[in-house]
Amino acid sequence: MMKRIEFCLTWVSLLLLQTAFAQTFTPLTIEVEAETGILSNPWGGGLNCPQLSEADLNNDGLLDLYVFDRTVHLHLAYVRKNNQYVFAPELVANFPALTEWSMLRDYNGDGISDIIAYSDIPGIDGLTAYTGYWQGNKLAFKRFPFKGPFNLAYFPLNSGGKAQVYISRIDIPAIDDVDCDSDLDVITFNLSGGYIEWYQNLSVEKGYGRDSMIFKLQSNCWGGVYEDGLSANMNLSSAPGKCFQTGVNNPSVDFRHAGSTLATTDVDNDGDLDLFVGDVSFNNINLLTNGGTCAQAWFNKQDPRFPGNDKGVDLPIFPAVFMIDINADGKKEVLVAPNENNGSEDVDVLWLYENNGSKQNPEFKFKQDDFLVKDMIDLGTGAYPSFVDFNADGLMDLVVGNGARFLPQGQRSIGLTLLQNVGSRQTPRYRIIDRNWLGMNQYNRENFALAPTFGDMDGDGDLDIVVGAEFGQLYYAENIAGAGKPMQFGAWQEKYMGIDIGQGAVPQVLDINGDKLPDIVLGNRRGNVSYFQNTGTLQKAAFTPQDNALPNIQRLGKVDGTAEGNFIGYSAPLFFKQNQSLQLLLGTEKGELRLYDNIDNNLSGTFHMSDANLGGMRLGGRTKADLADINGDGFLDMVVGNARGGLSLYSTSFRSGQATPVREPLSAQALSLTPNPANDWVSIPGLGDEEGILSVYDAAGRLVVQKRVNQYNHSLQVDAWTPGVYLFKLSTEGKVFAGRLVKAGK
């Protein structure tokens, strides 16, 4: 019987080895050093318009942080560990596709967070909801069944009909218990944008407890205030129950600018809700103090430069407030973020005001403007990465172009950021050494969205640089250093070869037709890929500049980076070889990475899309990928840039296809793990004088732990792991150790 058990476990471990190493994408934890020190979450992907909610995301009883980035309609998760937030993108795998705004609230009081979000019906403004439940230790959701038009939240009309609860696409409403009866109501601006409406939830009043959402328009002038959009101040009413009069007989026809954000909290601890208001026309936050009651709100005080006792909010543009207990001390802090991406701050996007007072008497003090973002690589809006060994030390460095970095007064900053690999062949480590490499910020008035690529355009054995840009042209600089030497570039040549793709030029240099000459392929705003054939010589490239003129191909392989119903694709091509055959990894406007094959000897035909969303990745819009084996394990690693201005990094199952001899993946040696089976802790032997990377995978091939280890013995806490079999992989310089651990049940 024991032999049979040992045989089964050995067979399982072999399956686990295959599963773990066959995963398409596994997040890589590679250290990055910035000017401020080591970044704790360098590959978090950046933030532009984050919306924050507190919720238990992993069923451990602690309040974690949920982030929805409006820019790209992306869910993100941070779990609370040792009173710090740790990036955990795997926890939002079950979240539904949503747009504009999304927040987590527990509408039914079952202790599990639910989603309240903007309408998912195209062209219909309103509110939808999803009921949360646990699927293992991850949240999952099912659609809440509103019994009204389009399955959106609705309220009865006096005429006897129904209408959806109106919430503008660009607004953020407040979802809170306004009348102190424990169910969640809706606070939002009305259609004309001047008065605030209160949609009362009658679930408790009708005897359903909190498990329903039954709305009634209880007040069309909640708190008595009116926002005219002409100043940062609100117009306050003179007494409870009165509505500020605009002097217009029918306020609904007094259409003003549209766009406001709301957030409720009991700032003065008097039992009713006060209100934070942000406006599309201003950079400030206004705090309205409620001098009324739960049943009858009356805003009789305001602080239009919140907080009046400290550095006031001045965040371009359209700021929104979120109340989060950052340090778990029972007092909520104020966080402020922009609610509009165009013309808004896109790096320092989360202003944190700590509560230095008490819960009863809060005192908000400005602490920082880069909460969460300070720990990431974030270049503003857009990131276009390319691997290259710029200093000829045999290690892959990283050059990243950005779309733009917001500057005041309508200015922007563009450039190439250089990350030098200061690690080793098996243990890469990056350091940001130049944020305006090669001086491309000189073109910030005439272009943006810089997408670099490298190739030998003049046959001298070194790599030159070609940079695409938003307005369709290319920039070129010759590497005059010579083969095998650190890169040294001549002057920039603008409008290289006269090529103009229209908009959104994202180039790659490669010999795609097999004639030994470097060709250029270009992604563009339309979503297709254009092929420009090199008709010159090895030493002197030549191109026909029109993509629709022979021998060029305007729609190479008939690939398409657009989403259904959209004519914008912003394709970003990356051709690479697997098993001696070309494949195409295509970044897209929506954010999928699409994989194509059937390319060789088929340039005039149609490429086959083998995967419409490789790895099921959800990174947000305008993805641009590059591949290189940065850790010497024989497999390509992948960096992906996105519209948020950040990067993500993964190992892949693609074999390395470098022109230099490729080392085969190392054979695994046995790794001793004790005790085995284990309940609480497992001990891992030291490495002598070496250091390495320890990766642990579960039975489904998901990465559970990844950390750096050194010469000392290590202990790993496993008491919270689900019982089962786990694969341990320890990679060092020139060696790989593997073992399996049985996690026993309690």
SS (H, E, C) 206-248: CCCCCCCCCEEEEECCCECCECCCCCCCCECCCCCCCCCCCCC
The strand ranges marked E within 435-548 are 451-455, 464-468, 474-477, 506-510, 519-523, 529-532
Residue 247 pLDDT: 58
Among the ranges given (273-282, 315-324, 605-614, 674-683), the one the predictor scored with the smallest mean pLDDT: 674-683
Pick the closest to residue 276 from 319, 330, 328, 231 (CA basis).
319
Q: pLDDT tens, 332-368?
A: 999 999 999 888 899 999 999 999 988 888 999 999 9
Q: How many angstroms separate the CA atoms of 703 and 681, rounded?
A: 18
What is the reported pLDDT for 360?
Answer: 81
Topology, domain 381-655: Tachylectin-2; Chain A (2.115.10)
Count Cβ atoms below 10 Å from residue 581 Cβ, excluding itself: 10
Residues of the chain with CATH 2.115.10.20: 381-655
Top pLDDT among 26 and 388 is at 388
Mean pLDDT of 469-486: 95
Is pLDDT of 98 > 70?
yes
Find the mean pLDDT for residues 273-300. 96
Task: Pick 470 or 688 by higher pLDDT.
Answer: 470
CATH 2.60.40.3080 segments of the chain: 669-743
Question: H or E segment at 114?
Answer: strand 114-118
Q: Residue 154 contacts by C-beta under 8 Å, 6 or more apart in sequence?
A: 146, 148, 162, 163, 164, 165, 215
> What topology does CATH give the domain 669-743?
Immunoglobulin-like (2.60.40)
> Which run of H or E residues covers position 10?
helix 2-22
pLDDT of residue 690: 66
pLDDT at 384 over 50: yes
Read off the amino acid at residue 79. Answer: V
CB–CB of 68/337 below 8 Å?
no
pLDDT digits (tens, 9 = 90+) for 638-688: 999 999 999 999 999 898 854 332 223 344 578 889 898 898 889 888 766
3-state secondary structure of 441: helix
Longest dimension (CA), the chain: 90
Quick one: pLDDT at residue 737? 81
Residue 250 confidence class, pLDDT cut points 50, 70, 90: very low
Mean pLDDT in residue range 416-432: 97
pLDDT attached to residue 361:
86
Question: Looking at residue 723, what is its pLDDT?
Answer: 84
Mean per-residue pLDDT, 168-188: 96
pTM score: 0.84
Mean pLDDT over all residues of the chain? 89
Burial 126-145 (b: 16+ CB within 10 A, else e): bbbbbbbeeeeebbbbeebe
> Taking residues 108-131, what's their average pLDDT?
96
Query: Is 570 within 8 Å of 588 (Cβ atoms)?
Result: yes
| pLDDT of 31 above 70 | yes
Domain 47-246+255-375 architecture: 5 Propeller (2.115)
Structure tokens at 179: 């009348």
Which of 175-189, 663-677, 727-741 comes out lowest in average pLDDT? 663-677
Work out the average pLDDT over 16-34: 68
Ranges 215-219, 229-233, 400-404, 600-604: which has the least confidence: 229-233
What's the mean pLDDT in 527-538? Answer: 97
